[in-house]
Amino acid sequence: MIPCVALLGGSFDPVHHGHVALARLFVERLHPSELRVLPARPWQKAALQASDDARVAMLELAFRDAGLAATIDRRELERGTPTYTVETLRGLRAELGDDVSIVFLMGADQLLKLDSWRDWRELFDLANIGVAARPGYRLEHDALPPPVAEEMARRLARPEQVRITPAGLVCMAHTLAVDISATGVRALLQGGDASGRASQEAPASLLAPVVLDYIQQHNLYRS
C-alpha cells in the first residue's frame, strides 16, 4: 500500500479538543501510515503567547492523552522565521518523495481564506487537502471564494482515493461538530477569580486535563 502521511499544522496556542478531533476524524477516514503535527510560526497571526517548547510539550501531552500516535515535526520552529505552508510542503515532498500520499488537514474556516495563502494553488501540486466542517462555516460551493470553489469542485474525491494519491485531491468531511478557537480558550484562561486562580470549569471542557495542568503549572496565558 502507498504510504500516506496526514499533516496537521497550526499555532496550537494552546492545543485544544478541536485540533485533536480534526486529527482523529481523518485518521479514522484515511488510516494514514503516519500523523505528523507541525506547530508553526504563522505569518498571518499576531505574536504567539506560549513558547515553542511549551507548545510542543502541550501537543505531546494532548495527543498521548487522546491515544493518537503522532510525530511532532519541529521543522517550522527550527526555521526561526514566520512560515508559509507551501514552503513546508515543498520540503516535505522533497523529503518523502513523489509517490507518498501527503494530506494536509484544515478546518472550514481556513478553507474560506485559502486564496490568501502564498502560492496557494501550488499546494495541490504538493499534497492533497482534507477539510473538516466547523459550526458556523459552510463548505458548499456558493459559500467559498470563487477561485477556491472552482478548485474544490474539480478535485473532490473519496477518502480511499485520497489515501492512495500523492497530491491534487480534496477530501471533505461534514461530520466534525466541534467549535473551539484558541483565541476563546486563551480568553477563558486569562480570567481569574479574586484569589488570582484561573477559572478551571470552562477551559476544562475545551482542553485535555493534562494540557490544562501544564498551563497552570507553567503559569501560561495569564494577563
| pLDDT tens digit sequence for 190-223 | 874 333 344 444 677 899 999 999 999 999 998 6
Instruction: State residue 223's pLDDT score.
Output: 65
Q: Provide mean pLDDT across the span 84-94.
A: 95
pLDDT of residue 216: 93
Q: What is the pLDDT of residue 196?
A: 37
Q: Give residue 30's pLDDT.
A: 97
Query: Could you tell me the three cell numbers for 143?
Result: 459559500
pLDDT in tens, 114-163: 999 999 999 999 999 999 987 777 777 788 999 999 999 999 999 999 99
Which sequence spans correspond to the domains of the chain?
A: 4-180
Q: What percent of the chain has pLDDT over 90?
A: 70
Percent above pLDDT 70 for the chain: 93
pLDDT digits (tens, 9 = 90+) for 162-191: 999 999 999 999 877 777 888 889 888 887
* Alpha-carbon torsion, ordered 188, 48, 45, 93, to 10 deg: -120
Q: Is the pLDDT of residue 83 over 90?
A: no
- Give long-range contacts, CB 8 A cutoff, 24+ apart: 46-49: 48/11, 48/13, 49/13, 49/186, 49/220, 49/221
- Round the average pLDDT of the chain to a whole number and report it: 89
Say if pTM beats, i.e. exceeds, 0.85. yes
Give me the pLDDT at residue 137, please: 73
Question: Is the separation of the CB atoms in 29 and 218 below 8 Å?
Answer: no
Per-residue pLDDT at 45: 59
**What is the CATH topology of the domain spanning 4-180?**
Rossmann fold (3.40.50)
